[in-house]
A and B are shown apart, each in its own frame.
Chain A
Amino acid sequence: DAGVIQSPRHEVTEMGQEVTLRCKLISGHNSLFWYRQTMMRGLELLIYFNNNVPIDDSGMPEDRFSAKMPNASFSTLKIQPSEPRDSAVYFCASSLYKSFPETQYFGPGTRLLVL
């Protein structure tokens, strides 16, 4: 079975540009999590969805960040405009809501560099 799929794997962009990260959930999963990993702050949860509904977005750093689930198996994380401090590895993870435990399976990550 295919795992969580993320694209692109690497992104280099200039400050001020819009960046869109994409994630495809594991088939049958209905919870989706976006994380950011940096050396300074470690792994941070940005936002998560259950059944396409955003549940907790308290980790989203500011209005420049937005996340959507246009359908049950796909999500986007958008940064507009991007800034150098957004440089990080962005992971998405999926799980089966209300399974016990709700083990999260991670994608390979997108390494973002904002110049």
Chain B
Amino acid sequence: AQTVTQSQPEMSVQEAETVTLSCTYDTSENNYYLFWYKQPPSRQMILVIRQEAYKQQNATENRFSVNFQKAAKSFSLKISDSQLGDTAMYFCAFMNNAGNMLTFGGGTRLMVKP
């Protein structure tokens, strides 16, 4: 079974600065997908970014980018130019290539300070 670990329960960052959230996972598979979801106080789960394991290039979506290290099984999320609206829980998730089930990490609570 796959496991996803987010070792930072809480983080804070000053507005306009950059922050990196860590995620590691455990799998014996070679092809899989990784996701970051954001959950603001409204509780809505919002897809932030996704990465296919067979792609070497790190995914980027505007201010959000990932550092995908396949050998190290690491999938960190970098948020540049942090905004107050980025305050949320962030969940890392793993999906294997054989199915469509997501395994979530425990989440990191990010606070962006003015």
> Is the pair A101, B43 in contact by a Cβ cutoff of 8 Å?
no
Give A100 to B107 CA distance when docked, in angstroms.
25
Interface residue range, chain A: 20 to 34
> Is the pair A42, B43 in contact by a Cβ cutoff of 8 Å?
no
A-B contact count (CB 8 A): 43
With A48-B100, A101-B50, A102-B100 known as contacts, the answer to whether A108 contacts B95 (CB < 8 A) is: no
Give residues 76-114 of B contacting A (CB, 8 Å): 91, 95, 100-102, 104, 106-107
Give residues 85-115 of A contacting B (CB, 8 Å): 89, 91, 93, 95, 97, 100-106, 108-109, 111
Determine if A82 is an interface residue (Cβ-Cβ < 8 Å). no
Residues of A within 8 A of B107 (CB): 42
With A101-B33, A103-B50 known as contacts, the answer to whether A43 contacts B44 (CB < 8 A) is: no
Give A93 to B44 CA distance when docked, in angstroms.
11
Determine if B16 is an interface residue (Cβ-Cβ < 8 Å). no
Give A100 to B53 CA distance when docked, in angstroms.
12
> Is the pair A102, B104 in contact by a Cβ cutoff of 8 Å?
no
With A108-B42, A108-B44 known as contacts, the answer to whether A101 contacts B102 (CB < 8 A) is: no
Residues of B within 8 A of A31 (CB): 100
Determine if B45 is an interface residue (Cβ-Cβ < 8 Å). yes
Determine if A45 is an interface residue (Cβ-Cβ < 8 Å). yes
Determine if B35 is an interface residue (Cβ-Cβ < 8 Å). yes
Determine if A56 is an interface residue (Cβ-Cβ < 8 Å). yes
Q: How far is the CB of B6 from chain A (nearest CB, A)?
A: 10
> Is the pair A111, B43 in contact by a Cβ cutoff of 8 Å?
yes
Q: Name which residue of chain A comes closest to B106, CB basis.
A: A42
Ranked 10 nearest A-B pairs via Cβ: A106-B45, A101-B33, A102-B100, A43-B104, A109-B43, A108-B44, A42-B106, A31-B100, A89-B43, A104-B102
